[in-house]
Structure 1
């Protein structure tokens, strides 16, 4: 392992050991001592702007407001219908439809920006805010593309801003307890991890609608598309089903991976994978023909990511991602009537196993009878163990200033985690590319590929056709700004 990787690993480990500062408070110091753009005196309140303020954006802003010391000063959404609840809840907040106009006109009055839009617009909004010295909270997954994730990670450090990704389980008690058990050596060194989900719960593996929809007057479709290629408006894409289309979403792993992969990624101090392979489910046009719909994510997938050996693993670690209802074999330690769950993460070590639900919640050792035994007192540093804690630690850190308070999921952690999930998506999309090449456009299931990943150069070294998905081309008029 090179020195840079070692330093990064140690730094990430320190997130867990130092996050108690977020709960312990901080010293009140004069503004001139903190200095620089993007820094507030701790006695001040945080002026927050939300971009994408309906649905999850609404709950994000509510959590940040309830966390204390934050004023929701500006709201921005391309759809007035989705924004209505937030507009009513925060009547003093000024409302915009275009985030660019908001940042241009209100830059001096904004301290921090919350980005809760669809995946394809995360990066350019967050980058624009960071370049103005604004602290950012960005919903998971951090970005749509691998290149974007790398650029945001570097920008957070360059512009010295306080960053947090919206995977609230990273601040939860469950992950801390898993950390304690692992550090105690109860399960030994880990060689295999399984992560599974019942997602997608939206349509995937389908043909793009042929009928043009009736656009709601409250929606600015061009602004909603943002960086994505122009297409006429279709019904039932907004506000949720965009997740199943590659132009906008990142599929099941983009939706749930940050919640399910985060515990092993953090606890085992993983870096991005060195190789990835997968197979995907197929769909039928009729009883004789399998369909091929490259614009849509597949209905199910099984991805195997291989991570380089480190001090916490027994050899190279294999992580299995399963979605669309695919689940790993039931652990033999579980009794027939003990629940395995539709979403979860399973660690398999040299001495034992541990399992948790989404967000790292409900952690337990296997067999479950082990959980009745006493173990050593908690060692991993605690932060407020709920959704509000994830928000409040970011707000407190933003008020204190860059580098003053550690967080659970800053971009230094969230960036590599997001890269990992999007590398898995490269394999999923690469499977389709390979099928077309081998079968003349006819899609068949079970044709696995194994791709070798070059982290330094952000590319697959043995299957160049998938590198087109590492960094997509933005629609004319839209830019990441780097």
Structure 2
């Protein structure tokens, strides 16, 4: 089936949703309260981790698995030898759409929406790794589709199901540090090569990889080992940079605890790479090696909140309340909450809040537990919600807006990098009168539009390769 007709067919799905799939009524499977039948797409790397999590939790059966890279998918395939295996998810869809209850997507960022949406339109529950999508338009579409189809969804930001974020939220709700007006977030990412020149040379495609399928909706380019594995995160066509990789983890706690919603303003500063004598590296496709992003929100509970993001080795100011030898966050990053009555620090994934100065923790009486704890893993919570109609910690109704906020930061980064070129010049040519500069992006979240810099609206939605349109 051609890609376009495949999408049209999946979009035409229409029957009313029920927790019990239609095929169960025919006796093909055991009752849905016993087993969740899953199609898994992207089962190497992080996707392989989700397969392990789901396998360890139990109550699941992998009907079919798919990965464009045989080598990357090998471990998951061996773990579930009875599952049918594919390179092309469209073939999996054609052969098994009636056999599964749900889809797990663990592919690179640029194919999340492309793969998940056809299954979601057929009312299949969905687990999709973070960031939910590659661009803001896709995040909005995923959330709207999940709501319209009434399906159970979960974004793969695992800390959302942990106790730490709930404890931090209870402290904020109890006013332990007063009204929060600023949050500084940082990460040790990128931990992959990022910010270099355009790759011009192609290499032979390894036999274990289908490069064309890996590219999916992205424009065709020759294969090069500098893209795979994992290094794709530093290229705008495929990844979302350091902020996209870790924002849905680290920004999760302030986003939920402070009820942040859509940012109304963003700006960025980025470092540059130089080669030769004052020749700027080509940023038309590569994320910068490091950046600072400043987002502003109007919180219904806190008022005006500034969230500042730091990556690539750049760190926020250390609070004077931090004692000698004490470190903010953990090795991978963290968040510092500045309130009118004190400071709170949380870690990268687990949150684990603590107050500054640390002496406050000695006699600190923790607020009463008001938010229910999740007793299972993040993946297990999704399984239980699919089988028993429960809620998840990061449904697309929440994960979508969180992803939009993160990707809004990338709009500001691109605006900083972007420069209009004089006729005959190429990106990378030195032009002292056209150097990219810091600018503030005004955002209308409801309209999904930049209101003060029209060029940036081109980045809200990507250009899709012919045949791969959503």
Same fold (TM over 0.5): yes
Q: What residue number does 1:324 align with?
A: 312
Identify which of 435, 438, 448 aligns with 1:448. 438
Q: What residue number does 1:47 align with?
A: 37
What displacement does 1:38 show?
9.4
1:143 & 1:42 partners in 2: Cα distance?
A: 28
1:381 aligns with 2:404: no
Q: In the superposition, relative to structure 1, how do residues 265 and 37 fare at CA in structure 2: closer, same or farther (>3 Å)?
A: farther
1:176 aligns with 2:166: yes
Q: In the superposition, relative to structure 1, how do residues 463 and 454 fare at CA in structure 2: closer, same or farther (>3 Å)?
A: same
Are the counterparts in 2 of residues 280 and 446 from structure 1 also a CA contact under 8 Å?
no
1:135 aligns with 2:125: yes
2:262 & 2:23 partners in 1: Cα distance?
A: 30
Q: What residue number does 1:264 align with?
A: 254
Q: In the superposition, relative to structure 1, how do residues 197 and 436 fare at CA in structure 2: closer, same or farther (>3 Å)?
A: farther
Matches within 5 A, 1:322-361: 322-340=310-328, 341-342=330-331, 343-361=333-351
Q: What residue number does 1:429 align with?
A: 414
Q: What residue number does 1:420 align with?
A: 405
Matches within 5 A, 1:70-219: 70-219=60-209
Q: Where is the helix percentage greater, Structure 1 or Structure 2?
A: 1
Q: What residue number does 1:16 align with?
A: none
2:336 & 2:197 partners in 1: Cα distance?
A: 34
1:237 aligns with 2:227: yes
Matches within 5 A, 1:303-318: 303-311=293-301, 313=302, 315-318=303-306
Q: In the superposition, relative to structure 1, how do residues 477 and 148 fare at CA in structure 2: closer, same or farther (>3 Å)?
A: same
Are the counterparts in 1 of residues 418 and 436 from structure 2 also a CA contact under 8 Å?
no
Are the counterparts in 2 of residues 38 and 161 from structure 1 also a CA contact under 8 Å?
no
1:96 & 1:292 partners in 2: Cα distance?
A: 36
Are the counterparts in 2 of residues 214 and 235 from structure 1 also a CA contact under 8 Å?
no
Q: What residue number does 2:239 align with?
A: 249
Partner deviation per Cα, 1:408-446 (whole Å, 9 max, x = no partner): 000010000000111110110011224758998648988
1:410 aligns with 2:395: yes
Matches within 5 A, 1:464-475: 464-475=454-465
Q: In the superposition, relative to structure 1, how do residues 261 and 414 fare at CA in structure 2: closer, same or farther (>3 Å)?
A: same
Please state whether the residue corresponding to 1:308 is helix, strand or coil. Answer: strand
What displacement does 1:309 show?
4.0
Are the counterparts in 2 of residues 197 and 344 from structure 1 also a CA contact under 8 Å?
yes
Are the counterparts in 1 of residues 291 and 413 from structure 2 also a CA contact under 8 Å?
yes
Give the number of aligned pairs: 441
Structure 1: any 5+ residue segments left out of the alignment?
A: 1-31
Are the counterparts in 2 of residues 162 and 397 from structure 1 also a CA contact under 8 Å?
yes
Are the counterparts in 2 of residues 282 and 445 from structure 1 also a CA contact under 8 Å?
no
Are the counterparts in 1 of residues 266 and 296 from structure 2 also a CA contact under 8 Å?
yes
Are the counterparts in 1 of residues 280 and 429 from structure 2 also a CA contact under 8 Å?
no
Identify which of 446, 466, 469 aligns with 1:476. 466
Moved more, 178-187 or 41-50: 41-50
Please state whether the residue corresponding to 2:98 is helix, strand or coil. Answer: helix
1:326 & 1:97 partners in 2: Cα distance?
A: 40
2:454 & 2:18 partners in 1: Cα distance?
A: 50
Identify which of 196, 214, 217 aligns with 1:224. 214
Q: Which has the higher contact order (CA 8 A, sep 6+)?
A: 1
Are the counterparts in 1 of residues 198 and 282 from structure 2 also a CA contact under 8 Å?
no
Partner deviation per Cα, 1:273-300 (whole Å, 9 max, x = no partner): 0011111111111353333322100111
Structure 2: any 5+ residue segments left out of the alignment?
A: 1-16, 25-29
What displacement does 1:245 show?
0.2
What displacement does 1:466 show?
1.2
Moved more, 290-299 or 438-447: 438-447
Q: In the superposition, relative to structure 1, how do residues 130 and 275 fare at CA in structure 2: closer, same or farther (>3 Å)?
A: same
Please state whether the residue corresponding to 1:154 is helix, strand or coil. Answer: helix
Q: In the superposition, relative to structure 1, how do residues 69 and 288 fare at CA in structure 2: closer, same or farther (>3 Å)?
A: same
Are the counterparts in 2 of residues 290 and 442 from structure 1 also a CA contact under 8 Å?
no
1:82 & 1:235 partners in 2: Cα distance?
A: 14
2:325 & 2:431 partners in 1: Cα distance?
A: 43
What is the RMSD computed on CA atoms of the aligned residues? 2.2
Are the counterparts in 2 of residues 164 and 411 from structure 1 also a CA contact under 8 Å?
yes
2:270 & 2:19 partners in 1: Cα distance?
A: 51
Q: In the superposition, relative to structure 1, how do residues 84 and 405 fare at CA in structure 2: closer, same or farther (>3 Å)?
A: same
Q: In the superposition, relative to structure 1, how do residues 268 and 63 fare at CA in structure 2: closer, same or farther (>3 Å)?
A: same
2:82 & 2:320 partners in 1: Cα distance?
A: 57
2:327 & 2:179 partners in 1: Cα distance?
A: 25
TM-score (norm 1): 0.87
